[in-house]
Structure 1
Amino acid sequence: MTLKPDFLVGDSDYQLGRELEVSSPEGELHLRFFIPSHQEFALLATGIREVIELSPDRITPIPNASPLLLGTLNLRGRVIWVADLGQFLGDATPLNTDRAEIPVIAIEEQETIVGLAVDSIGGMDWLLVQHLAAPTNIPDIAAPFLRGEWYSSTEGNSSLRLLDQTAILRSARWAG
């Protein structure tokens, strides 16, 4: 059991001196996001360095680089590659870069950082990894990067797919 901090307690509750109880989160914290084809994915929060929304002109295109890469970005004095995550996962719909801001998820393992450009951020959720099922109906190119998926019967049988950020960072697809 955890107690709600004072700044989350309504004035009347605070004046009466009551403490509100909230349940402890279960599972692990994940970031949910969407790629251009409106598929929803998640990444474990502990592997995410930061999430930024930036103007497309802050991404510098690199000639003769892999078509998966949008270019490079200066992230606090460090140059990192930025990739279209949907294209990396084999999605046919390219990321729309003709807009005011692009969400980029910077994932990190040891000394390697890559920025994953996505269509939109869905939020943070505590998810139980024990409820993961084997992924279904996925392109062969995406299979090595998926740890599983959660199904929701309450939201029209939609699914939320969990990505393996280590597999993404270590992929040989970056060289292609």
Structure 2
Amino acid sequence: MVGNPDFLTDTGQDQAPELQELESPEGELHLRFYVPSGMEFALPATGIKEVLEPSPNQITPIPNASPLLLGTINMRGRVIWVGDLGQFLGEPIPVNTDRSEIPVIAIEDQDTMLGLAVERIVDMDWLDVEQLQMAMNVPDTMAPFLKGEWLLDPESNQFLRLLDQVAILRAARWAA
């Protein structure tokens, strides 16, 4: 490259290919994931501290804690409670802990942090919050923790539901 005479001089500069304009994403960045029942949810990336995949033996069970809580994990010296998000939302199927790693989404608001164990993490997506609709036909146990939903497929009636991480963190249900 340095041996190329055009590298050191201005010759050939006018022959440079036209720069392509980068496409800017629309909407806001969200993490998409599934709970054990197969329902798909999203959380705003701004409320997520970290995504972890601890092995089940890294989650320390705590006696006499809420059945919604799997236990605690140590994240770089900070102890974090890990809860089963699906069961918290009223789903009957618990997260599968009989596997090598459990996907955990660490959410944070102010100084409070909580790990949410989920079945499977899909990916990060730019979602248009202006297309968000009011959540319809959701169980009463889930409704207080939803900001709304996007209709993904009208034929199969498939929805992507947006969770409110602050409402989940502040819920008294974790202490029950």
For normalisation by structure 2, the TM-score amounts to 0.88
Match of 2:173 in 1: 173
Any gaps of 5 or more consecutive residues in structure 1? 1-15
Q: Give the letter for the 1:21 counterpart.
A: E
How many residues align structurally?
161
Give the secondary structure class of the aligned counterpart of 1:54: coil
Match of 1:11 in 2: none
Match of 1:119 in 2: 119
**Identical counterparts, % of pairs:** 66
Describe how 1:57-68 pairs up with structure 2 within 5 A: 57-68=57-68
Give the secondary structure class of the aligned counterpart of 1:42: strand
- Computing the radius of gyration from Cα coordinates, the structure with the larger value is 2
Match of 1:7 in 2: none
Q: Give the letter for the 2:94 counterpart.
A: P
Following the alignment from structure 2 to structure 1, what is the Cα–Cα distance between the partners of residues 128 and 174? Answer: 31
Following the alignment from structure 2 to structure 1, what is the Cα–Cα distance between the partners of residues 173 and 161? Answer: 20
Give the secondary structure class of the aligned counterpart of 1:22: coil
Q: Give the letter for the 1:152 counterpart.
A: L
Match of 2:106 in 1: 106
Match of 2:13 in 1: none
Following the alignment from structure 1 to structure 2, what is the Cα–Cα distance between the partners of residues 162 and 54? Answer: 25
Q: Give the letter for the 1:64 counterpart.
A: N
Match of 2:148 in 1: 148
Match of 1:97 in 2: 97
Any gaps of 5 or more consecutive residues in structure 2? 1-15
Following the alignment from structure 1 to structure 2, what is the Cα–Cα distance between the partners of residues 106 and 76? Answer: 13
Deviation at 1:19, TM superposition (A): 3.1
Structure 1 segments (4+ residues) deviating >6 Å: none
Q: Give the letter for the 2:49 counterpart.
A: R
Match of 2:11 in 1: none
